[in-house]
Amino acid sequence: MAENKDRSLATHYLNVDLDVYSTYDLRPLVDSLGREVLALYVGPERRRYCAHLEVAKMTKTADSTILAFCKLIHSLPKETRGLWNRATLRSSSIGVQAGNRPTSCDFAIQATTVKAVSEVAAQIVLTVYAPRESTQLQDAS
């Protein structure tokens, strides 16, 4: 129990979501990726289409997760790779849960990962989630 409490107070890496936006339906792209990804949402959003995906296999770092996504994109058949290429936005969104300690925390992305993301014409986004309210209340007491 104390380990879970410590984990909830500490800043830590959560996961990487692949977020894709397009003027075209992205369902064929997601279907082509098959069981290699978990589709969090695929469908219309405002005036465009989007897909929010996670890698289906367990990964431990942002680097390994992003590289897994890049490998999947490289393996796409020509037709669905075209959907990827025509997307208006392709983001590897690294999720970080902010905590109250440590006072600073680094999450390095290796040069090989940055290169791999560039090769699939995507971007890297860092999404930091505010400390959980229960964490803030515990520290106030």
- Residue at 2 is within a domain: no
User: Which residue type is seen at 63?
Assistant: D
Work out the end-to-end distance of the chain between its first and last CA atoms, rounded to an integer number of angstroms: 19
Let me know if residue 1 belongs to a domain.
Answer: no
Q: Is residue 79 part of a domain?
A: yes
Domain presence at residue 4: no
The number of angstroms, rounded, from the C-alpha of 12 to the middle of its chain's C-alpha atoms is 14
What's the mean pLDDT in 99-120? 94
Q: Domain range for residue 63?
A: 9-140
Residue 83 lies in a domain: yes
Count of structural domains within the chain: 1
pTM here? 0.85
Averaged over 80-84, what is the pLDDT?
96
Res 136: pLDDT:
46
Burial zone of 59 (CB within 10 Å; 0-12 exposed, 13-18 middle, 19+ buried): middle
pLDDT in tens, 17-60: 999 999 999 999 999 999 999 999 999 999 999 999 999 999 99
131 in a domain, yes or no? yes
Confidence of residue 100 (pLDDT cuts 50, 70, 90): confident
Amino acid at 132: R
Q: Say if residue 112's pLDDT is above 60.
A: yes
